[in-house]
Amino acid sequence: MTSEHIWAWLQSKGKLFKVISDPERGIIEVINERGEILVRKTNLSKRQVETVERHFLHRIATRLNGRHIPASGKNSDPFDPMIT
């Protein structure tokens, strides 16, 4: 079983980006419509990836695979996933 999650992120000008997150491998990728990787973050902890998913992706993107996890209410977690 894979821990990879695939998200559709609709941009304001109608472009559709694909976001791939994998907490087990510690990877987040943003891919444009042409299949080019725009952002690739590696060596992230499982907590960092899950925090990005919870705070960013659940609010602006649509999950395309796996079970849908509804966004929770206000979260007071001060953890910044992009600071290692």
* pLDDT tens per residue across span 5-56: 998 888 888 889 999 999 999 999 999 999 999 999 999 999 999 999 888 8
Which residues, 6+ apart, have CB-to-CB distance to 48 below 8 Å?
26, 81, 82, 84
Count of structural domains within the chain: 1
CA distance linking residue 15 with residue 71, whole number of Å: 24
Query: Looking at residue 74, what is its pLDDT?
Result: 45
- The domain in which residue 38 lies consists of 5-63
68 part of a folded domain: no
The DSSP string of 7-33 is EEEE-TTS-EEEEEEETTTTEEEEE-T
Instruction: Look up residue 63 and give its DSSP letter.
Output: E
Q: Which residue has the higher pLDDT, 78 or 69?
A: 78
SS3 72: coil
72 part of a folded domain: no
Res. 84 pLDDT band, cuts 50 70 90: very low
Query: Looking at residue 77, what is its pLDDT?
Result: 54
16 part of a folded domain: yes
Query: Looking at residue 81, what is its pLDDT?
Result: 54
